[in-house]
Amino acid sequence: MALDGIVTRAIVHELEACKGARISKIYQPNERDIVLHIRTQQGNAKILLSVNPTYPRVHLTEETFVNPSEAPMFCMLMRKHCESGIIEEITQVGMERIIHIRVRQRDELGDLSSKLIIIELMGRHSNIILTDPSTGTILDGIHHVTPAISSYRVIMPGFAYTEPPQQNKLNPLDTEQEAFRESCLVSPDNPITWLVDSFSGMSPLAAQEIAHRAGYVSSTEDVGTEKNCGGLWTAFSEVMEDVRNYRFTPTAGLNAKGKLIFSVIPLTMLTGDTKTYESTSKCLEDYYGDKAQRDTVKQKVSDLLRFLQNERSKNIKKLDNLNKDLEEAGDADRYRISGELLFASLHMIQKGDKQVELVNFYDEDQKTIIIPLDPLLSPSDNAQRYFKKYNKYKNSLAVIDEQLIKTHEEISYIENLLQQLSHASMNDIDEIRDELVQQGYLRDRGRKTRKKKKNDKPTLHMYTSSEGIELYVGKNNLQNEYVTNRLASSNDTWLHTKDIPGSHVVIRSDRFGEDTLQEAAQLAAYYSQAKESSSVPVDYTLIRHVRKPSGSKPGFVIYDHQKTLFVTPDEKLIKSLPSVIKNQRN
């Protein structure tokens, strides 16, 4: 079910418990989400306001968010006007996907002031707008809508707030039987289309459920001019009676096409197993899961992926050319022999000859050798030409060998970064981008960089083993270097997939059991290029045997005294381990 007016009503009813709560902190993890940290009589809670164009939603959340090093401007404005404020009211506009949160706060002069947070959940037009209700003006919006974009309404500081265009649909909670029947009989559309087009807050899924209860088998069934308006009214009034009285049953299950759907009204049309939730927020959080996060990461990481894939392709092509040069340089002695034979036989060659066949004194098996000549050169110059080629390839052998080593290292480094991007969170991507800027691969795009402090820490991903031991995982080179070179002690155990790009894993203890070792090895295998493989080799050794060569690429280490064990990555086991993200962000 899309997040329609019925779901919005369920959310607002649930959030009414937050009335009187104090907003303690406001964060903006990305350009589309705002997280309100609140203190209620029942304890601390978080409200997610998301205007993701694909997954717009509002609900209580238990998710952990990684915040940027510097709060965006809209977040700073929200903090100025709403932080430490009291939530006075949370309401829905009719049956629309629009939520108003009224906040009371004392301003800089100590006077009470009221602000209105308007959340419009309308797909790609979704927005979070902060307004001053006393004047009706917009203080700012998370997304600006300029006059060039829309002539109907502008979302910019200083402009008057204008509601989205009215759809002129019936409010399903106020519709009487006679009005329902009249609209039903007049419309030539099938029941699903008619319900969606006629009533505000009605999604196709809710309409399908009402039609199913009325006896229609197919959601696209065309009933011509005759509709079972009586049956539709019975099903419609039954559903709306529950919605009107806030009797919601958050449910998720698979539809006939095997697609996961959710609803806050019971779905009798589902034939398979369904899952019921104790709250709408838990249903939404479970349904959306990390879909929105993955989509956001995918969009943000796409340019980096293209760049790194192009870099890898260029280096693979360079490697092929170097191998060809190496093969050609390996024949350097052939040019030396040709030059010496030509010098010994200058009297047998005339200018203008294209080739000459000479006795080969250097090979007992090959009595003669045919040497190509440049007819424009003299015999002596032809001999000199072969000696020059010999010296060129002889000198280039050392350079080619050096370039081969560097190119192999470059390919390995890039493949390591590509592997890291496959597991990256939003904050991990920023750290990888910063690393590429520092290494000279990317130009700084002029974004404000955070000044690094001496004891500054990257984002840290910590898991807890079944034995209660801390396991740290580096998901990019900055994190790998910190975990291995600064965080770990000499007697801690270090793990990494053998000859496979992957994460550094550290067991923060000198005493642990076999279960902890196996779980740490699982983490190393899961966060590696061999995630989908079986029997992945994982090396482990003490930190004292791990060192970083001078001048090497970020995240590169060498180690010895290692032992190897083989594991098959198990995603269920990884997700069962308690985890926490530690970061130094605001």
| CATH number of 357's domain | 1.10.287
Helix (H) or strand (E) holding 568: none
Q: Is residue 472 part of a domain?
A: yes
* Rounded CA separation 281/373 (Å): 83
Sequence letter at residue 138: I
User: Quick check: is 168 in a domain?
Assistant: no
Percent of the chain with pLDDT over 70: 95
Q: Which residues of 358-381 are buried (b: 16+ CB within 10 A; e: fewer)?
A: bebeeeeeeeebebebeeeeebee
Average pLDDT over residues 560-570: 94
Interval 355-381 mean pLDDT: 86
pLDDT of residue 290: 66
User: Alpha-carbon distance 22 to 110, whole Å?
Assistant: 17
Q: Is 74 helix (H, G, I), strand (E, B) or coil?
A: helix
- Whether 334 is covered by a domain: the verdict is yes
Q: Is residue 379 part of a domain?
A: yes
Between 328 and 141, the more confident residue is 141
Question: Are residues 214 and 309 both part of a single domain?
Answer: no
In a domain, 236, yes or no: yes
Same domain, yes or no: 567 and 473: yes
Mean pLDDT of all residues in 244-249: 94
Residue 460 inside a domain? The answer is yes
Question: Can you tell me the mean pLDDT for 14-23?
Answer: 94
In angstroms, what CA-CA distances link 164 with 55, 96, 204?
19, 10, 21
**Res 583: pLDDT:** 66
Using CA atoms, how far apart are residues 407 and 392, in angstroms rounded to an integer? 21
CA atoms within 13 A on the CB side of 221: 15
Q: What is the pLDDT of residue 432?
A: 86
- Examine the domain organization and report whether 399 and 351 are in the same domain: yes
Q: Tell me the two tokens of residue 492.
A: 């801690």
Q: Looking at the structure, tell me whether residues 182 and 209 fall in a common domain.
A: yes
End-of-domain residue from the set 386, 403, 421: 421
Output the six-digit token pair for 290: 């990390």
| 301 and 267 within one domain | no
The model's confidence at residue 218, banded by pLDDT at 50, 70 and 90, is low
| Domain stop point among 117, 141, 165 | 141
Beta strands in 63-175 (DSSP E): 86-92, 98-106, 112-120, 127-132, 137-141
CATH code for the domain in which residue 53 is found: 2.30.310.10
State yes or no: pLDDT of 465 exceeds 50: yes
Distance CA 394, CA 510 (A): 53
Q: Identify the domain boundary among 403, 421, 439.
A: 421
- pLDDT of 582 higher than 80: no
pLDDT in tens, 523-546: 999 999 998 899 999 999 999 999
- For residues 487 and 411, membership in a common domain is answered with no
- Same-domain check for residues 321 and 361: yes
pLDDT at 553 over 50: yes
**Is residue 506 within 8 Å of 543, Cβ to Cβ?**
yes
Radius of gyration of the chain (CA): 35
> How many structural domains comprise the chain?
4
The whole-number pLDDT of residue 377 equals 92
In a domain, 163, yes or no: no
Dihedral-angle region of residue 143 (phi above 0 means left; psi in -120 to 50 means alpha; beta otherwise): beta
List CB contacts of 77: < 8 A, sequence separation 6 or more.
130, 139, 140
Q: Residue 112: count other Cβ atoms within 10 Å of its Cβ.
A: 10
Q: What percent of the chain has pLDDT over 90?
A: 55
CA–CA distance, 400 with 326 (Å, rounded to integer): 7
Tell me how far apart the alpha carbons of residues 311 and 301 are, in angstroms, rounded to a whole number.
15
With respect to residue 158, please indicate whether it lies within any of the assigned structural domains: no
272 & 331 share domain: no
Q: Which of 27, 39, 37, 42 lies closest to 62 in space, CA to CA?
A: 37
Q: Are residues 374 and 477 in the same domain?
A: no
Residues 222 and 282 in one domain: yes
Full domain range(s) for residue 63: 5-141
Averaged pLDDT of the chain: 88
The more confidently predicted of residues 292 and 145 is 145
CA distances 408 to 216, 315, 334, 574, Å, are 64, 8, 29, 32
Q: Identify the DSSP state of 123.
A: G
pLDDT the model gives residue 586: 42
Buried b (16+ CB within 10 A) or exposed e, 548-566: eeeeebbbbbebeebeebe
Q: What is the mean pLDDT of residues 328-335?
A: 77
C-alpha distances in Å from residue 6, one per residue of 10, 81, 169, 171, 172: 6, 30, 14, 11, 10
22: left (phi over 0), alpha (psi -120 to 50) or beta: beta
Query: Do 398 and 471 fall within a single domain?
Result: no
| Nearest partner of 68 among 459, 446, 422, judged by Cα | 459
**What number is the average pLDDT over the span 378-386?**
91
Are 40 and 129 found together in one domain? yes
Among residues 377, 6, 435, the alpha carbon closest in space to that of 202 is found at 6
Position 373 pLDDT exceeds 60 = yes
